Chain A
Amino acid sequence: MCTYQTEKIEVDGSGKAAKGWFSLSHATVYVDHPVHAPYAHTVNIDFINPGEGPSARVPVELTEEAALALADAIHRALAAAPAGLASANQK
């Protein structure tokens, strides 16, 4: 199915696409058909900056298991670092 439903958040950071590095403004997360991954549906995450045009986009297409493992890994990595080290308000 095409779910069309999209979670969209603001993000602060950078990503690299075909034309090189750019500043990110948003990320979208949606469960839908992948372009490349060999599954009917995947969890698709796009790191984007619409102000820089449609090609300012770093996409990944993950299985449900991979997406959840990624979320856990992010939490573990942050827990292992001093609090605030990678914060937008870091010193």
Chain B
Amino acid sequence: MIDVMRAETITIAGHGGDEIEAYLARPLDEQPHAGVVVIHHMPGYDAATKEIVRRFAVNGYNALCPNLYSREAPGADPDDAAAAVRAAGGVPDERLVGDVDGAAKYLNALDGANGKIGVIGYCSGGRQTFLAGCSLQLDAAVDCYGAFVINEPPAGMPASMKPILGLAPQLSCPLLGLFGAEDQYPGPEEVQQLSAELDRLGKPHEFHTYEGAGHAFFAVDRPSYRPEAAVEGWRRVFDFFGKHLAA
């Protein structure tokens, strides 16, 4: 653990060169550090997500969370921004990939970057992590309960939520998946199907499903929080990144 870090809001170049807001936290020691891109959940670039970014910094990573709602809602409260983007149909997949790519490039350009990049995302960000892992050259990816990778979303969902299992042959890095046994989106069957397809393709992955946990069990500020699953899940995350993001 590192007890000195710097955390701040910065501007990075996202998809199409757009200037977007992002939250950066980095350890203040002289060691080389890998980079972690944090993809926020659907409720947005909020206080809980920024806490996650800082958590990666104290554990020795340069961590950066792009505000995926920067364009639609610059300067707005996270909940207002999330509502505006939701009403507009969500974040387009292509733009998400460009924003994660911009965040990864920013991290790799930092002094002391070790050149390795991991991505982690929660809820809708779990699906987006899989999308990024299949679209960009990454070193490790962590999907926390992302739905609609395999199954079609229910009628009425935005077109941007289409399944992306067809991209699996392009998955560029090992994938850690953390899921709740009581979650319906993704349900255990969808998680098993994804695991089977990655097995078939010979894609390295490690999935863990926690009993007694549903969707969003990492969210400390929500009733869905499940301390046992979250504590164990965080241990898995740091083991996984420690293994795959070392220089």
Contact A35 to B87, CB < 8 A, known contacts A57-B80, A59-B79: no
Q: Tell me if B10 counts as interface (CB < 8 A to partner A).
A: no
Whether A39 lies near B80 (C-beta < 8 A) is no
Contact A28 to B185, CB < 8 A, known contacts A2-B147, A54-B76: no
Q: Which residues of chain A come closer than 8 Å to B183, judged between CB atoms? A: 1
Q: Which residues of chain A come closer than 8 Å to B83, judged between CB atoms? A: 28, 46, 48, 54, 57, 59
| Closest chain A CB from B182 CB (angstroms) | 11
Q: Tell me if B52 counts as interface (CB < 8 A to partner A).
A: no
Q: Which residues of chain B come closer than 8 Å to A30, judged between CB atoms? A: 86
Whether A54 lies near B72 (C-beta < 8 A) is yes
| 8 A Cβ contacts from B134-158 to A | 147, 153-158
- From B20-28, B96-104, B215-223, B235-243, the one touching the partner chain is B215-223
| 8 A Cβ contacts from B43-84 to A | 43, 72-73, 76-77, 79-81, 83-84
| Closest chain A CB from B216 CB (angstroms) | 7
Whether B80 lies near A54 (C-beta < 8 A) is yes
Chain B residue with Cβ nearest A18: B77
Whether A5 lies near B84 (C-beta < 8 A) is no
Q: Tell me if A71 counts as interface (CB < 8 A to partner B).
A: no
Whether B185 lies near A2 (C-beta < 8 A) is yes
- B154 touches which one: A3, A35, A48, A57 (CB < 8 A)? A3
Whether B73 lies near A35 (C-beta < 8 A) is no
Contact A5 to B73, CB < 8 A, known contacts A35-B79, A40-B223, A54-B83: no
Q: Tell me if B229 counts as interface (CB < 8 A to partner A).
A: no
- B90 touches which one: A1, A4, A53 (CB < 8 A)? A4
Against B, the Cβ 8 Å flags (1 = close, 0 = not) of A51-67 are 00111010100000000
Q: Which residues of chain A come closer than 8 Å to B192, judged between CB atoms? A: none
- B124 touches which one: A2, A6, A59 (CB < 8 A)? A2
Interface centre among B79, B123, B156, B183 (most CB of A within 10 A): B79
Q: Which 6 residue pairs across A and B have the least CB separation, nearest first?
A: A54-B84, A54-B73, A54-B76, A5-B156, A1-B185, A54-B80
Please list the residues of chain A having a beta carbon within 8 angstroms of any beta carbon in chain B.
1-6, 8, 26, 28, 30, 33, 35, 38-40, 46, 48, 50, 53-55, 57, 59
